[in-house]
Amino acid sequence: MNPYETFDTKGRRQRPLKAEQKASLARFLDLAGDYLRDGYTYSQKAYTFTDDFREPRSVEADHAALPLRADSLEALEAEIQHCRDCPLHTHRIKTVPGEGVARPLVLVIGEGPGADEDTSGRPFVGKAGQLLDRMLASVDLSRERNCFIANVVKCRPPHNRDPLPEEIAACARFLNRQLALLKPRMIFCLGRVALQALLHTDAGIGRARGQLTTYQGFPLLGTYHPSALLRDVSLKRAVWEDLKILRDQLAALDTREP
């Protein structure tokens, strides 16, 4: 499957092209036309083409751009809504910036919206989301009172595939901006994709979960994604261990800084 594949209104397959691809196609068509006409090759015509989609900026360039960008969550949401930095925008129904309280104890980070999130514009509202709400409630956390819930990418990847590295890179500036605005006490990262994206590691989730580390100076803890838990209940014990670490870390923070 081509992740960039889109369809026109008549259901015909469309594939966004890079400028070089369009240029070689044009050269080929020119040559074929010349050949069919009289067998001679004429000098090439000059064309100017542009990419159908932009290369994602580097993460470093995004970081450099951050201070000039949205200075409130509302402004950031508007920016996300208009984003066309990667091909995921062509598939989305709604962008899913995230939701929760403005100064959260915990920023929960998942991988990307699924079908329910794409139609509602809200993060973690499907079956996995309901389980996430129960997981958080078990340690006295919720999106209504003390958490903010976001994703590594803000638009749904087609067919719920993993977001591609270039899509994650294109969206990184939004998550980093959210982090700077929200200033959570901790990050709780859900699943392999989000953890690998944030920590730039190949480590599997079975190894990396439950280990305290930091992301951009904020304490970070990872655990299994609630969807994995729905598929395999034997992971429940490990997730509960991780939730207890989260709870204890938050309790320690609270006593150190009343």
Query: Which positions lie near ligand URA, rule CB under 6 A?
Result: 110-114, 117, 123-124, 128-129, 151
Q: Rounded CA gap, 112 and 97, in Å?
A: 10
Three-class secondary structure of residue 186 per DSSP: strand
Q: Would you say 56 or 129 has its CB closer to ligand URA?
A: 129
Tell me the closest approach of the beta carbon of residue 205 to ligand URA, in angstroms: 13
Q: Least distance to ligand URA from the beta carbon of 99, Å?
A: 10
Q: What span, in angstroms and rounded, lies between the C-alpha atoms of 59 and 34?
A: 45
Going by their DSSP bridges, the two strands 147-151 and 106-110 should be labelled as: parallel
Q: Are 62 and 173 in contact (CB under 8 A)?
A: yes
Name which of 123 and 210 has its Cβ closer to ligand URA.
123
Residue (104 or 114) nearer to ligand URA, CB: 114
Report d(CA 194, CA 221) in Å as an integer: 11
Nearer of residues 112 and 184 to ligand URA, judged by Cβ: 112
Terminal-residue alpha carbon distance, the chain: 53
Rounded CA gap, 250 and 24, in Å?
Answer: 57
Q: Which residue is at the shortest CB distance from ligand URA? A: 110
Backbone angles phi, psi at 150, to 5 degrees: -140, 180
Of 53 and 124, nearer to ligand URA (C-beta) is: 124
Chain-centre distance for alpha carbon 26 = 35
Taking the least distance from each CB to ligand URA, the nearer of 87 and 123 is 123
- How far from 118 is each of 38, 98, 100, 142, CA to CA, in Å? 54, 12, 17, 21
Minimum CB distance to ligand URA, residue 231 (Å): 13
Is 143 strand, coil or helix?
coil
